Amino acid sequence: MNKLIGVGAVLIVACATFFVFFGQYQQNYANKTVASTAISAKKTTTTTSSTPMRPTDLPQIARDDWRLVLVSPDHKIVTEVPEEQLTTLADGHIVDQRIVKSYEELTDAAKKDNIKLHLVSAFRSVAYQKQVFNERVTQLENQEQLTKEAATQKAKLTMTEPGYSEHHTGLAVDVVDENWLASNPNMVLDESYSSQPGAQWLQKNASRFGFVVRYPDGKQAITKITYEPWHLRYVGVKSAEYMTKHNLTLEEYLDLLEKWEGYEH
């Protein structure tokens, strides 16, 4: 009998010891699980917070959209605009038919503000640009006794080489106001035109109709073209408003779109 009592006591002690150790094991496992979950959550939070976010006001538009085609001294036009895509305005100038409504809305709005805009240059084919460029080179050769190479380099200072002019796109227009034109019959345009009412109105309002001043002040290193407050380029309303707000050239805007390509707001 005493032996049985002794054996029972041993079993009770053993069971108690087992449950104590088992309880500690469960607690340690639970603590480790909580800690592991916390670390995982922290990693997830860190990863999420470090993911770059696309600027909320940056338009969702593809870089190869027709409105953003890049033609510049560094980018030759790939394909000329098909003739059926062009249309002739009432004043005889030719533009891409897709921008006619926007251009007309621009001029109508200017008229309401007592600014009468006058279009002086629009679409030019590569062939025509080649003709006028070569004529200028020949003129410089004869007048200034320059070699053809020297005359060509000098011509590039004020003219764009055939194939590299934005006017080939049909999306670019050179616009002045009629009051300025009446007082400058020779139409010698330079940066001083920026102080004229027409130029100031365009700088402030062109983006509302999808146009930007393509060669802004202080950006020659990027555009390779000096400041031209009369030269407008159609890029679409959303892009124009973003570019104007952030003072971006088309080159800078395209780089920004490429950077955030594939990212959502």
Range 174-182 average pLDDT: 93
Does 11 score more than 80 pLDDT? no
* Phi, psi angle pair for 137, to nearest 5°: -60, -45
Q: Distance (Å, rounded) from C-alpha 69 to C-alpha 166?
A: 9
Residue of 231, 190, 238, 240 lying closest to 211 (CA atoms): 240
Count of beta carbons in the 10 Å neighbourhood of residue 13 = 10
C-alpha to C-alpha distance for 169 and 159, rounded to whole angstroms: 16
> Sheet of 211-215: strands edge to edge?
117-121, 172-177, 228-234, 211-215
First vs last C-alpha separation in the chain: 82
> Between these two residues, 70 and 22, which has the higher pLDDT value?
70
251, containing H or E segment: helix 250-259
Question: Poorest-confidence range of 48-62, 109-123, 133-147?
Answer: 48-62
Q: How confident is the model at residue 50 (pLDDT cuts 50, 70, 90)?
A: low
Strands 172-177 and 211-215: unpaired
Q: What's the pLDDT score for residue 18?
A: 43
Q: CB-based contacts of 163: which residues, under 8 Å, 6+ apart?
A: 76, 77, 126, 129
Q: Which whole-number Å values give the CA distances from 231 to 65, 112, 202, in the listed order?
A: 21, 21, 10
1.10.3720.10, 3.30.1380.10, 3.30.1360.170, 3.30.499.10: which CATH number matches 66-124+165-259? 3.30.1380.10
- Domains of the chain: which residue ranges? 1-51, 66-124+165-259
Residue 142 has pLDDT above 60, yes or no: yes
Evaluate whether 81 touches 168 at the Cβ level (below 8 Å). Answer: yes
212 — pLDDT class (breaks 50, 70, 90): very high
Q: Is the model's pLDDT at 237 over the cut of 60?
A: yes
List all residues 6 or more positions away from 28 whose beta carbon is below 8 Å from its beta carbon.
none
Alpha carbon distance 185, 179 (integer Å): 11
Tokens linked to 220: 């020659």
Q: pLDDT category, 159, cuts 50, 70, 90?
A: confident
Q: Residue 228: what are its φ and ψ, rounded to 5°?
A: -130, 90
pLDDT band at 5 (very low <50, low <70, confident <90, very high): very low
Buried b (16+ CB within 10 A) or exposed e, 106-119: bbebbeeeebebbb
Output 18 or 241, whichever has higher pLDDT: 241
